[in-house]
Structure 1
Amino acid sequence: MIETIAAEMATYAQLVPLEMTQTEIYESVQDDTLLNASFWANIALAGIAILLFVYMGRNVKDPRAQLIWVATLMVPLVSIASYTGLASGLTISFLEMPSGHALAGEEVLTMWGRYLTWTLSTPMILLALGLLAGTNLTKLFTIITADIAMCVTGLAAAMTTSSYAIRWFWYFISCTFFIVVLYVLLVEWPKDAEAANTAEIFNLLKILTVVLWFGYPIFWALGAEGLAILDVAITSWGYSFLDIGAKYVFAFLLLRWVAANEAVIAKQPSTFTIGAGPESGAGTPADD
């Protein structure tokens, strides 16, 4: 009897592989040169960006301009930590895809650490943009809340293995929150930027942000998490290239403008008011 149970357990162990250890995941990442390079390229660029942005903001004195600078600096700081987590295998898992998926029954590498990065870094991008536009607290809270919800529901889509349909349902919920973000960026904040005399740089950064952020749901849909048209390494490089433009290029353009136009930022009224912002041309200098 005991021998029979032992034999059955041995057979079950062969059919159901043990969960991969972090070391095994790390070695798997190391073995995929293209995938591994997509992580280390961003670690290197984030490090360079941190040093550059510290230098660029060294003479910023106005409190509002300093807050824009700090929020922007947080983006590469979060990224270097997050990409290190990916490169080390700490924030990567192998998940078995559900029935209906193109890779159903296969264990697919899932880079859930990227969603952690986006949840922490994209609100900083929006905070910096909102401060640049001279928006009010209501709009700032709305867009940042929708952005965090977008990232968290995107993570839920990537991590759901019980149902292929529910994965896509999470995806469409995430896209719905994205629409809220787009509305504030494209409709509400341009009017605030006009009133704050920052419309020219805001519109440039707005276009850059919207165009690049559209790339993330597209790569999700085409990648191994969605339709599996693109493999994991190509998808990872797609995300990495988008991060380079949406984070480091964005931050460089913003900080260069702020450093050269600090007086314009200093004249903006306080962001921390509820409801509608000032009408165009009606802004008054802050008391501080």
Structure 2
Amino acid sequence: MLESVVAEMWAVAQFGPPLEMTQAETMQTVQEDTWLNASFWANIALAGVSILLFVYMGRTVTDPRAQLIYVATILVPLVSISSYLGLVSGLTISFLEMPSGHALAGEEVLTMWGRYLTWTLSTPMILLALGLLAGTNLTKLFTIITADIAMCITGLAAALTTSSYALRWFWYLISCAFFLVVLYVLLVEWPRDAELAGTAEIFNLLKILTVIMWFGYPIFWALGSEGLAVLEVATTSWGYSGLDIVAKYIFAFLLLNWVRNNERTIAETSTTFRTETATPADD
């Protein structure tokens, strides 16, 4: 009996009591980790600057299709600044006990599940802007956006599953399968559309940038605390934040700057889009 009590006390001393932390306590934990906290505030600052810059850049754009590209793209930093405020405040962060088989099995690990909400809302806007730039049709646009949302949601499921280590990786593989659909449309279907629309040069640049950056997310998931736990939480967070900076803000600036200087091409793409997708009814 005494041995069991001593063993329990030793476990508590070693791992601490179960972490059922309040939001304020979670926020304090984030603030105490300077490296982790900085990964959030860097994006908040850059998102704020990006919003002001992009609104200023779009003030003279008049073509409806170009305006839609601007609206979709500006929504990306708007979603990001909201999401990162959720992370830094402890609202969208939780401590989850890792399942048996995980490198940190039995330990409470900080899980930044709010990032998945960001990606679920922001990455479809990126794809919408790219699809409009390429002059694609609604079927391809619907396919890639739904696959993208499914990719983010199944990634969230992988991060939140604590009942089975194997199921975490199964969710991860499902998410990667949806990612392959996104890659197919980006790399195979839309380049042909962009050639017809006359936007191939800028589209191919943004396509390469997007594909390279988006590959980084599943890699950091696999190496981070949610996967193999090779990287620490703060390092993983900076990995995600760095990818967000390039895949969102730099991407958005390149896209919107080109649209602003080539609005006539976008307007012609709009006409081409309606002509190609309109099919007369059979008599």
Rounded Cα–Cα distance in structure 1 between residues aligned with 2:183 and 2:133:
17
- Contact 2:19 / 2:95 at 8 angstroms: preserved in 1? no
Equivalent in the alignment of 2:87: 86
Contact 1:192-1:277 at 8 Å conserved across structures: no
Q: Which residue does 1:4 correspond to in 2?
A: none
Task: Show the counterpart of 1:8.
Answer: none
Question: 1:143 aligns to what?
Answer: 144
Distance 1:231 1:271, change over 3 A: farther
1:154-165 residue pairs with structure 2 within 5 A? 154-165=155-166
1:21 aligns with 22
SS across alignment from 1:57 = helix
* SS state at 1:100 partner: coil
Once residues 90 and 106 of structure 2 are traced to their aligned partners in structure 1, the CA distance between those partners, rounded to angstroms, is: 22
Q: TM-score, normalised by structure 2?
A: 0.91
Distance apart, 1:17 and its partner CA? 2.8
Letter aligned with residue 17 of structure 1: P
SS of the aligned residue for 1:225 comes to coil
- The yes-or-no answer on 1:264 pairing with 2:265 is yes
* 3-state secondary structure, aligned to 2:96: strand
Q: Which residue of 2 aligns with 1:245?
A: 246
Tell me which moved more, 260-269 or 218-227.
260-269
- Tell whether the 8 Å contact from 1:40 to 1:87 is kept in structure 2 after alignment: yes
The corresponding residue for 1:72 is 73
Determine the C-alpha separation between the residues in 1 that align with 2:19 and 2:233. Answer: 22
For 1:271 and 1:48, the matched residues in 2 are separated by 35
Distance (whole Å) between structure 2 residues aligned to residue 198 and residue 17 of structure 1: 55
1:236 partner letter: S
In structure 2, what is the equivalent of residue 99 of structure 1?
Answer: 100
Alpha-carbon separation, structure 2, partners of 1:55 and 1:86? 28
- RMSD of the TM alignment (CA)? 1.8
Paired residue total? 265
Q: 1:141 to 1:99 in 2, by over 3 A?
A: same
Identify unmatched segments of 5+ residues in structure 1: 1-10, 279-288
Does the CA-based 8 Å contact 1:97-1:105 persist in structure 2? yes
Higher helix share: 2
Aligned residue type for 2:106: G
- Displacement of 1:18 in angstroms is 5.5
Deviation, 1:271, is 8.6
Deviations 1:235-264 (A, max 9, x none): 000000000000000000000000000000
Contact kept, 8 Å, 1:78 with 1:121, in 2: the verdict is: yes
User: What CA deviation, in whole Å up to 9, does each residue of 1:192-212 have, x standing for no partner?
Assistant: 000000000000000000000
- Work out the CA distance in 2 between the residues paired with 1:52 and 1:29: 29
Aligned sequence identity (%): 80
Give, as a single letter, the amino acid of the residue that structure 1 aligns with 2:21: M
Counterpart residue number, 2:55: 54
- Which residue of structure 1 lines up, in the alignment, with residue 169 of structure 2? 168
Query: For residues 71 and 80 of structure 2, what CA distance do their matches in structure 1 show?
Result: 14
The Cα of 1:273 is off from its aligned counterpart by 6.8
Paired letter, 2:98: M
- Contact 1:57/1:69, CA 8 A, preserved across alignment: yes
SS in 2 for 1:109: strand
Pairing 1:225–2:235 present: no
Question: 3-state SS of the aligned residue for 1:95?
Answer: strand
**Aligned-pair CA distance for 1:268:** 1.5
Distance 1:100 1:194, change over 3 A: same
The equivalent residue for 2:129 is 128
Consecutive aligned runs of 4 or more in structure 1 exceeding 2 Å deviation: 14-18, 269-274
Q: How far is the alpha carbon of 1:19 from its aligned partner?
A: 1.4
